[in-house]
Chains A and B, each alone.
Chain A
Amino acid sequence: MTNKVLILVGTKKGAFVLESDAARKSWELRGPYCETWPMNHVIADPATGTILAGGGSEWFGPAVWKSDDLGTTWTHSSAGLAYPEGETPIKAVWSLAKSGASLYAGVDPAGLFRSDDGGETWNHLAGLQNHPSRPHWNPGGAGLILHSLLPHPEDDKRLWVGISAAGVFHTADGGETWETRNRGTRADFMPEDQRYPEFGQCVHCLVMAPGMPDRLYQQNHCGMYRSDDGGRQWTSIEAGLPSSFGFPAAAHPRDPSTLYLLPLNGDSAGRYVPDGKAAVWRTRDGGETWEDLRDGLPQGNTYFGVLRQAMATDRLEPAGVYFGTSTGSLYASADEGDSWTCVAQHLPTVLSVETMVVEA
């Protein structure tokens, strides 16, 4: 029986938690946590109920924060979360993912770390940095960030990462060796005859379809894509969307063909919702067709964006869908996106949204 639903929100000034019951009609906000450090990604470990928050402070550097009591008290650590002396130091943690007993962290400048003790100490998986493409990686607008981490749910040696703006990489040996997985994705910012490179694409968000680990969706700076073979080949699914540009994508908790996006008006047009009207776009058929969901969302004079990790679903039936805006609002749907309610306003810029369902 569901006892609580938590929305975990990373913001430019700390982590916040919103709490509701299974009805998800009213929400109580708690925070800010983590000493108001910028928190790029706040996740839950559903096996233990632990909340983990990755970020970095301009003063104090990168760290992963941890709470074992749903946010009441926190500790932090960055032990081992470091490149060798002389290399560019890590600025911030950008992404977190749990895989079995391991915890992964993606950082800026792009690299991957693993903890086998719940985030107390970290080890660098240097194989990604040893990829021959590494000297040619270029940062995107937010930096050279490893922002998407997708562990295979059944094979703990397999993992996909998304790096802006180096593209998608996959390992089948636990991070020792990697291969690029970008075929079919465009790089419109390159000269015309170089727009489908092996790497260097600006992937914005990478998500995995539930129950189909080789079906991946990707919101890219230059288009929206689906792959059914683990990223070896990507197919454009942007027809029917108002824009090929956006940041977040959120998979449905059970249906591998349902996906949520929040397209923005374009990379050089302000990067807010098209025509100043907010809409979440949903496909029920793997991207063949799209429908706009607007009920309860502002339909005029709206100039927010939604960042790459700031949209999520929960695992209830019907699924909840959530997104946080660059202007500090948080919207929630308890009916798979059909209708929306603003559940928080005036927060700092929202950087990430995740959920946790707590059983009684």
Chain B
Amino acid sequence: MAEDPASRPVVVKLPAALVRLFPEATRQVEIPASVATVGDAIDALDRRWPGMRDRICDTTPCIRRHMNVFVRGERSDLETRLEPGDEMVVLTAISGG
């Protein structure tokens, strides 16, 4: 039976520096296709690894200034829509000294 495209999970890729902060976390995780936005996906990550939302987002609420989230190759914000099968890539931006 063919796979229902609408049920394909969102694949989230996380940066190593973030994963190191959460002992159980993995670099790649699948989120159910029911999440509608990047913000929803980050909430799902936070449910899995409590505290992760605060590392990606500030309390404005926004994605942190020196973090980037790309969806379909475009820099996104918390309201960016996710489609089943999307790849959501979380990256640490250029920062520091």
Contacts and interface: CB of A to CB of B under 8 A. Distances in A.
Interface of A: 35, 58-61, 63, 76-79, 82-87, 89-90
A89 B93 CA distance: 19
- Would you call the interface of chain A mostly helix, strand, loop, or mixed? loop
A59 B64 contact: yes
A82 B54 CA distance: 9
A107 to B, nearest CB: 12
Contacts of B51: 76-79
Contacts, number: 50
Interface stretch (B13-21, B26-34, B69-77): B13-21
B21 A61 contact: no
A124 to B, nearest CB: 11
B59 A89 contact: yes
A35 B67 contact: no
Contacts of B67: 59-60
Closest 7 CB pairs of A and B: A89-B58, A60-B55, A58-B95, A82-B59, A89-B59, A58-B66, A59-B92
A35 B96 CA distance: 14
A82 B53 CA distance: 13
B5 interface: no
B46 to A, nearest CB: 11
B59 A59 contact: no
B17 A59 contact: yes
Given A79-B50, A85-B59, A90-B59, 15 more contacts: A58-B96, A59-B18, A59-B55, A59-B66, A59-B92, A59-B95, A60-B54, A61-B54, A63-B54, A76-B21, A76-B51, A79-B51, A82-B59, A85-B60, A89-B60
Interface in B51-97: 51, 54-56, 58-61, 64-67, 92-93, 95-96
Contacts of B61: 85
Contacts of A60: 17-18, 21, 54-56, 64, 67
A59 B67 CA distance: 6
A78 B58 CA distance: 11
Contacts of B96: 58
A111 B66 CA distance: 23
Contacts of B58: 61, 89
